[in-house]
Structure 1
């Protein structure tokens, strides 16, 4: 047994036990009041926009929490965000709430007069109390940044304990136990988080002892601070502990195989009912046990609960609440869609018949048409944008090369003419005569070059190839400062030794390393001192400097959530980015590290950007600061910023909202000529909701990049000018659309000319990807390169950087009102997003505000499912475009089928990373020899695949959760909900087929699985005018498969040819064929040497995978 004492708990215990029970105070927070600091004027119960009313009539409910009234006559329970009461013998339930608020987890007060529950009706999940008839709703807790769940009354009825969830750098809410007086207040902490402020482990499901002297609760007792996936739930994941409210002692009460969750104390206080995980040989189940607190004997009274959430994060609780009857002879619980009563002595179980008729208001799902392939498009993603020292020219990078724009005339042109390598990271010399930049060639690797500001051929100044970023001239123009990074993932690992910050003569020569670590190196006023930044902890970035020998280190500023620093050329000012906005302040020196943030009071700090800021730069004379995002370059003079500057303008508070538009029209890639694909079985997916159209001995005519005719051989004339390809014996399907496809498009913003990851996707027939979390600059620049034909890849769409609720500089997205939401949605749409991803924001009003902003800007919202079932359900009600990731619960029932089926909200379960059990990816490692997949190994480095696949874990099939998730997906698809494949970037192209195969395991026919992989995904993403079917007028994106995939879905990976945008590729080699003969160049790992990833690259990729949540 373990014990822990807290002086605070002693005080709490005295308070709970000693005070007399009052009536609920008249000044308790009412339903019309909102949480402190919450959004004023936003009504969760009536968000803006169109509403629809749907009707649900069901005898089944899903994941219902319940309680039994103290007199034993009634049951109160939740279903789809509303509370209901009915006689304990069953019958038609009466609604206690019926609004757009999400009301869950009801608990009767000890006197039976009130019900405590959790509701987001005032903005976020908080504790509320109402009368037993549903009247007089009163808010008790007023948490703003945290969420509370699992209410439990103290026996005297004056306190309510809850689980409080708090997010950290990761949005998995670490749990603690908090207690509120029924009259309100901030509450008192009882049991703090297990490992302090950074803990992601759950402490949940409080329950008072019979005498009120203790609180029992469940605890994630696995090792470490981080919450982890794929835990062994047959081991002791959770245990039940007690907290003595007088002494602060903590004691482990129940622990063992299968864990122990949801402690529920018997009326006489002599035993505790709880749930543990068991394997019955057919499936993973929950079992209901009772532990005698005197003898320690544990008795199973029921086996067959729906599997618990011990392997998920259990943010709202690990299993639905259940209750004793007042006489202690029975337990009432929910399982398999119905309510049950079990006699504890005999174990006899009786179903409690239930009918719920409900009307719910929903908001129609957001969905907007995407113009997939216009003949020309506007290039939006300009990087490293800056203004020349003379103020006449804008310099930026786009489409892989450097461009300049004459500000007066608006004319845009390339700075150089070469096409041998890509160009990155430009920077002017202080005199404006030269530009330094880095380059990348897959064949020759990287270099640093200097070119005249008037253009021409760049001169290499580095003596060795490498991976180079962030070059800048010294103030005197004699030297160039830069950072050397490492390769070995997307880029060759050769020449990756000795990374760090270097200095080299501007005319060329041997480079000298100054320091080993640091970001964004640059000079201030002194050519003998450099500035750089480092992360000092999870949320703070620090600006430091050293001399050219790497000595005399000084720390100047430290900022919470600061993403970047830039010192002015005269050394008198410092600019920084915080929460995506740009700020500037005088460079104040005291010999100490100064705190710097928005709202700093010690010295002037001014926000200058109205819209998002990135790529900080200063004019050479320090008179103005520039920043950029997407296609817009902004400039702000110091005279417009600070009133104390000589010549200051009258208004120094107005934020800069207008800038220089760097976008330009670019012709999209389009092949010439006509191709006829003759003899194959064509699975058109045309009118797929109503028929299964299959054309044997089919003909597909493609002109340029579109299908001009589809028919049967002998019935469709093939023009003599067409290139004919005989595809007899093969099956043609629309190109696969991976609706949830993460992946790397660059390394430190350097991009390869041939991205092996995307070649692999194409080789498996994936022609369109939608990436719901990535580096905005990398993914949108990649999308434009693909559209222009400068690189070979699937059509690439993304949300860019997620709207993140966790605490991380450059990623945390604070949203307190609609204006904040509009700011963040705009910055992403400006950069090229077709959708945004609301990522685990705990407050519902925030999620609704993102939806409203997106609706106004005509962009879709694909929220992170986050293993939060209750939030997933109100995402549907609120009209999100879809739900990304699996529902964490094991089964759904008629109530959800009816509700979801009456919406247009899509579902992308990502079977390969399915929440709640062992993920699908692990299944396919166990059951297939992935490292022997010739296609995969042709396009992916062996050191990426083999360590992950050769020695898999092993478990019975019933332990793999993706099969349950696929069954749920099949239920929903049968009700009209579109279901889409989402391979999550887990295994390059091959995992898209794992998604199809997983669907077949869940009951989809091969045709139905292919429908999900094609037209369903196109509809979901608003691309069905151009993609998803094989018919006249559609884009020629096809996968041509060896064999009959309709007979065996496992043949889907046997792609012979991939057609994208009318270009035909031999899928085995990814050489272009058809009307062209373009050979792919060798990848760096095909040279036989296979230089391994440098440890720094491995660390960078691991961090990147966690940052963008490619790795869960």
Structure 2
């Protein structure tokens, strides 16, 4: 037993220099308990849809999935990939004229805002502050964008900028920096403001803030969409980063996600000036990120009712829900299929943790797998934090053509295995990895 402990100790000491280089993901955020806001607020890589926006005609949606943006008509099962750039792309919003999509893109240790021209299919960067810029929302007149940024002292505040011809100009911080005297533990002493949405008449913003509250991410506040305006709280409940309120097209109601009186987030609605909440959906699962269609007839949202994330719409009046499924995906770049078999020392399929990355550092997983991610990583080793999925022993996934790196681990009793394969466009590539035991010497107590 002593021999085994000594070997493990020596291995740990040998790894200390590398461990010392590990730093948190998006370390520029100056808030406590990063596991809360990172898991529940910041966009994450998922194999299923994670956020959605409506086209102006209410006939199609643009959504983020697997680190890219996709477009799909409500009456179709075909999804068209819109972005395949240098970062993971999230949180799309469509301009009212249908020419632009703004979104948040994670790359180079920051989340910056980008714009996609739907006519030319070209993208251009909107912000370059090196901060975390998320939740971009275009005003109903298409002239301004409200978004959340940590560019001021590393805290979440709301900014508004003019938007014209795919460019941002004259960005202003609308919400002030306020240090609270409340004895908060899970949240910063500094108040935050998140999840902005513009009223249909463009005169006001609604957002979520914990101003004056100890627990939760806060209530709903409204304010004039101008510098120096006073905000007023119209509704309070103990939200947890996921409320994301959205106006109905007529400006009379607000839809949002809430876990009010239950353990799961569901869709709720309140009068836009405040009032009693009314539940729109039910179930022992989460329905989040609601967006009201421009014609007012439907609400699109993300659900995890099947285990993985999925995209749904609900009829506002009838309440009927329909899932939007992408059975056929049209990719921007050539792709192939990769089949991975993980075997134990006896040659039988065995559960394991699998990391699959392309040459440019992007992570991939089967369509039905739940993607996991590390909280820290070594910048000199990789562009992004490690992402992985769990397999029962066999996995099939779509990957870009080119070199694919596959890493497999299973507890501490097996060696960490790494292989590289060449994925061929339009073809199936198979890879078998047989795990080898570490065979550490036994101590006298174990003999």
- The alignment's TM-score, normalised by the length of structure 2, stands at 0.63
CA 1:278–1:1014: 2 relative to 1, 3 Å? farther
Aligned: 1:136 with 2:122:
yes
Alignment check: 8 A CA contact 1:100 1:360 kept: no
Shift of 1:277: 1.6
Shift of 1:71: 1.4
CA distance in 1, matches of 2:106, 2:295: 34
2:221 to 241, 245, 251: 241
CA distance in 2, matches of 1:203, 1:64: 21
CA distance in 2, matches of 1:881, 1:120: 11
Aligned: 1:1014 with 2:413:
yes
CA distance in 1, matches of 2:273, 2:344: 68
CA distance in 1, matches of 2:50, 2:414: 35
Aligned: 1:187 with 2:171:
yes
- Which whole-Å deviations, capped at 9, do the CAs of 1:1078-1103 have from their partners, x for residues lacking one? xxxxxxxxxxxxxxxxxxxxxxxxxx
Give the equivalent residue in structure 1 for 2:278: 299
Give the equivalent residue in structure 1 for 2:316: 344
Shift of 1:1019: 4.2
CA 1:880–1:217: 2 relative to 1, 3 Å? closer
- Which whole-Å deviations, capped at 9, do the CAs of 1:256-288 have from their partners, x for residues lacking one? 2556710101101111111112575xxx32100
Aligned: 1:214 with 2:198:
no
Q: What runs of 5+ residues in structure 1 fail to find an aligned partner?
A: 1-59, 225-234, 309-318, 363-684, 693-738, 740-846, 849-862, 867-871, 907-976, 979-1010, 1021-1026, 1039-1058, 1067-1073, 1075-1112
Alignment check: 8 A CA contact 1:221 1:236 kept: no
Give the equivalent residue in structure 2 for 1:178: 159
CA 1:122–1:138: 2 relative to 1, 3 Å? farther
Counterpart secondary structure, 1:297: coil
Aligned: 1:152 with 2:120:
no
2:266 to 258, 281, 287: 287
CA 1:251–1:106: 2 relative to 1, 3 Å? same
Shift of 1:207: 0.5
Alignment check: 8 A CA contact 2:138 2:145 kept: yes
CA distance in 1, matches of 2:301, 2:199: 20
Shift of 1:240: 1.9
How do residues 551-570 of structure 1 correspond to structure 2 at under 5 angstroms? Answer: none
Counterpart secondary structure, 2:437: coil
Alignment check: 8 A CA contact 1:92 1:356 kept: yes
CA distance in 2, matches of 1:253, 1:270: 13
CA 1:217–1:134: 2 relative to 1, 3 Å? farther
CA 1:200–1:265: 2 relative to 1, 3 Å? same
Give the equivalent residue in structure 2 for 1:333: 301
Counterpart secondary structure, 2:397: helix
- Which whole-Å deviations, capped at 9, do the CAs of 1:832-874 have from their partners, x for residues lacking one? xxxxxxxxxxxxxxx98xxxxxxxxxxxxxx9526xxxxx9xx
CA RMSD of aligned residues (A): 4.2
Shift of 1:61: 4.9
Counterpart secondary structure, 1:268: coil
Alignment check: 8 A CA contact 1:222 1:237 kept: no
CA 1:108–1:141: 2 relative to 1, 3 Å? same
Give the equivalent residue in structure 1 for 2:440: 1035
- Which whole-Å deviations, capped at 9, do the CAs of 1:394-418 have from their partners, x for residues lacking one? xxxxxxxxxxxxxxxxxxxxxxxxx
Shift of 1:305: 8.4
CA distance in 2, matches of 1:286, 1:192: 29
How do residues 703-1102 of structure 1 correspond to structure 2 at under 5 angstroms? Answer: 864-865=374-375, 882-883=386-387, 898=397, 978=409, 1011-1015=410-414, 1018-1019=416-417, 1029=437, 1034-1036=439-441, 1038=442, 1059=443, 1064=444
Structure number having the greater strand percentage: 2
2:255 to 260, 266, 273: 273
Give the equivalent residue in structure 2 for 1:690: 348
Alignment check: 8 A CA contact 1:61 1:338 kept: no
Alignment check: 8 A CA contact 2:374 2:386 kept: no
CA 1:295–1:66: 2 relative to 1, 3 Å? closer
Shift of 1:130: 2.2
Aligned: 1:162 with 2:162:
no
How do residues 77-156 of structure 1 correspond to structure 2 at under 5 angstroms? Answer: 77-120=63-106, 124-133=110-119, 135-144=121-130, 146-156=131-141
CA 1:181–1:306: 2 relative to 1, 3 Å? farther
Shift of 1:190: 0.8
CA distance in 1, matches of 2:123, 2:284: 32
Give the equivalent residue in structure 2 for 1:252: 233
CA distance in 2, matches of 1:219, 1:688: 56
- Which whole-Å deviations, capped at 9, do the CAs of 1:408-446 have from their partners, x for residues lacking one? xxxxxxxxxxxxxxxxxxxxxxxxxxxxxxxxxxxxxxx
CA distance in 2, matches of 1:306, 1:905: 32
- Which whole-Å deviations, capped at 9, do the CAs of 1:800-839 have from their partners, x for residues lacking one? xxxxxxxxxxxxxxxxxxxxxxxxxxxxxxxxxxxxxxxx
Alignment check: 8 A CA contact 2:297 2:315 kept: yes
Shift of 1:138: 2.6
Alignment check: 8 A CA contact 1:322 1:331 kept: yes
CA distance in 2, matches of 1:178, 1:905: 41
Shift of 1:355: 2.8
CA distance in 2, matches of 1:865, 1:192: 29
Give the equivalent residue in structure 1 for 2:24: none
Higher Cα Rg, which structure? 1
CA distance in 1, matches of 2:68, 2:382: 15
Alignment check: 8 A CA contact 2:219 2:239 kept: no
Alignment check: 8 A CA contact 2:68 2:84 kept: yes
CA distance in 2, matches of 1:190, 1:98: 32
Counterpart secondary structure, 1:65: strand
Counterpart secondary structure, 2:219: strand
CA 1:241–1:294: 2 relative to 1, 3 Å? closer
Shift of 1:880: 6.3
CA 1:1015–1:200: 2 relative to 1, 3 Å? farther
Shift of 1:356: 4.7
CA distance in 2, matches of 1:881, 1:189: 30
CA distance in 1, matches of 2:218, 2:160: 22
CA 1:118–1:361: 2 relative to 1, 3 Å? farther
Q: How many residues align?
A: 335
Counterpart secondary structure, 2:311: strand
CA distance in 2, matches of 1:143, 1:63: 27
Alignment check: 8 A CA contact 1:881 1:905 kept: no
